[in-house]
Amino acid sequence: MAIAFQLCRIPISTSTDLFLPETFSLRLRKPLSVRCSADDSSSSITVDPDFDAKLFRKNLTRSKNYNRRGFGRKEETLELMNQEYTSDIIKTLKENGNEYTWGNVTVKLAESYGFCWGVERAVQIAYEARKQFPEDKIWITNEIIHNPTVNKRLEEMEVANIPIEEGKKQFEVVNKGDVVILPAFGAAVDEMLTLSDKNVQIVDTTCPWVSKVWNSVEKHKKVIFLQKFKYAVSEGFDPDRDLVKVGIANQTTMLKGETEEMGKLVERTIMRKFGVENVNDHFISFNTICDATQERQDAMYKMVEEDLDLILVVGGWNSSNTSHLQEIAEERGIPSYWIDSEQRIGPGNKIAYKLNHGELVEKENWLPKGPITIGITSGASTPDKAVEDVLFKVFDLKREELLQVA
Ligand code: SF4
What are the tens digits of pLDDT across the range 318-364?
998 999 999 999 999 999 999 999 999 999 999 999 999 999 999 99
For residue 99, the CA-to-ligand 1 centroid distance in Å is: 26
Q: 169 with 147: CB under 8 angstroms?
A: no
pLDDT of residue 242: 75
Cβ of 206 closer than 6 Å to ligand 1, yes or no, is no
Ligand 1 centroid–CA 357 distance in Å is 21
Mutate to test the pocket of ligand 1, among 5, 36, 115, 117 (most ligand atoms within 8 A of CB): 117
Q: 207 in ligand 1 pocket by Cβ < 6 Å?
A: yes
Q: Is the CB of 184 under 6 A from ligand 1?
A: yes
CA of 321 to the centre of ligand 1 (A): 9
Strand order in the sheet with 310-314: 99-102, 105-109, 372-378, 310-314, 336-339, 350-354, 360-364
- CA dihedral over 338, 343, 348, 352, signed as positive or negative: negative
User: pLDDT for 354-405, tens place per residue?
Assistant: 999 999 999 999 999 999 999 999 999 999 999 999 999 999 999 999 888 7
Query: Residue 175 C-alpha to ligand 1 middle, in angstroms?
Result: 30
Distance of CA 203 to the CA centre of its chain: 19
Question: Is 356 contained in some domain?
Answer: yes
Q: What are phi and psi of 83, to 5 degrees?
A: -65, -35
Q: Across residues 216-244, what is the average pLDDT? A: 61
Residue whose CA is at the smallest distance from ligand 1 atom 8: 1
3 domain-assigned: no
Q: CA gyration radius for the chain?
A: 23
Q: Mutation test of ligand 1: which of 144, 210, 212 has the most ligand atoms closer than 8 Å to its C-beta? A: 210
55 pLDDT more than 90? no
As a whole number of angstroms, the distance between CA 287 and CA 216 comes to: 10
Cα 143 to ligand 1 centroid, rounded to whole Å:
14
Q: Whose CA is nearest to atom 4 of ligand 1?
A: 118
Query: Which one, of 249, 253, 227, 368, lies nearest residue 316 by Cα?
Result: 253
User: Does residue 320 lie in a domain region?
Assistant: yes
Characterize 188-227 residue by residue with b for buried, 16 or more Cβ atoms within 10 angstroms of its Cβ, and e for exposed: bbbbbbbbbebebbbbbbbbebbbebbeebbebbbbbbbb
Considering only CA atoms, which residue is closest to atom 3 of ligand 1? 1
Contacts of 190 (CB under 8 A, 6+ apart): 33, 42, 43, 45, 46, 47
252 lines ligand 1 (CB under 6 A): yes
* Exposure of 339 in the CB half-sphere (CA atoms within 13 A): 25
Which atom of ligand 1 is nearest the CA belonging to 253? Answer: 3
**Could you write out the DSSP letters of every residue in 369-402?**
SSSEEEEEEE-TT--HHHHHHHHHHHHHHHHHHH
Residue 363 CA to ligand 1 center (angstroms) comes to 32
Confidence grade of residue 53 (pLDDT, cut at 50, 70, 90) = confident
Helix axis angle for 88-95 and 384-405, nearest 10°, is 90
pLDDT for residue 1 is more than 50:
no
Count of the separate structural domains present in the chain: 1
From the CB of 251, is ligand 1 less than 6 Å away?
Answer: no
Residue type for position 298: D
The ligand 1 atom nearest the CA atom of 207: 6
Report how far apart, in Å, the C-alpha atoms of 194 and of each of 56, 58, 66, 138, 176 are.
12, 16, 14, 16, 12
Q: What is the mean pLDDT of residues 32-48?
A: 41
Q: For the chain, what's the residue count?
A: 406
The whole domain housing 341 covers 89-115+292-405
Q: Is residue 347 part of a domain?
A: yes
Note whether residue 111 is domain-resident: yes
Q: Output the pLDDT for position 246.
A: 82
**Poorest-pLDDT segment among 65-69, 242-246, 301-305, 316-320:** 242-246
Query: Which pLDDT belongs to residue 221?
Result: 55
Instruction: Decide whether any atom of ligand 1 lies within 6 Å of the 213 Cβ.
Output: no
Q: How far from 179 is each of 91, 150, 154, 372, CA to CA, in Å? A: 36, 19, 14, 49
| 208: enclosing H helix or E strand | helix 208-219
Identify the pLDDT of residue 11.
Answer: 30
* Cα 165 to Cα 116: distance, rounded to the nearest angstrom: 32
Report which of 120, 132, 89, 111 is spatially closest to residue 1, judged by C-alpha positions.
120
Q: Which atom of ligand 1 is nearest to the CA of 119?
A: 5
- Return the minimum-mean-pLDDT range out of 8-22, 105-119, 186-200, 386-400: 8-22
The protein residue whose alpha carbon is closest to atom 6 in ligand 1 is 118
User: Residue 18: inside a domain, yes or no?
Assistant: no
**Best substitution site from 123, 209, 216, 256 to test ligand 1's pocket, by max atoms within 8 Å of Cβ?**
209
Is 244:10 a contact under the CB 8 Å cutoff? yes
- In ligand 1, the atom with minimum distance to the C-alpha of 117 is 1
Distance CA 157, CA 319 (A): 23
**CATH number, position 351:** 3.40.1010.20
* Pocket lining: 274 vs ligand 1, CB cutoff 6 Å: no
Judge whether 244 and 3 are in contact, CB under 8 Å.
no
The reply to whether 199 falls in a domain is no
Which one-letter amino acid corresponds to residue 361?
V
What's the pLDDT band for 101 if we cut at 50, 70, 90?
A: very high
Please give the helix or strand (H or E) that residue 268 lies within, else none. helix 256-274
**Predicted local confidence at residue 247, as pLDDT:** 81
Ligand 1 and 214: CB distance under 6 A: no
Domain-embedded: residue 383: yes
* Closest residue to atom 1 of ligand 1, CA basis: 118
Q: Report whether residue 116 contacts ligand 1, using a CB cutoff of 6 Å.
A: yes
**pTM for the whole thing?**
0.79
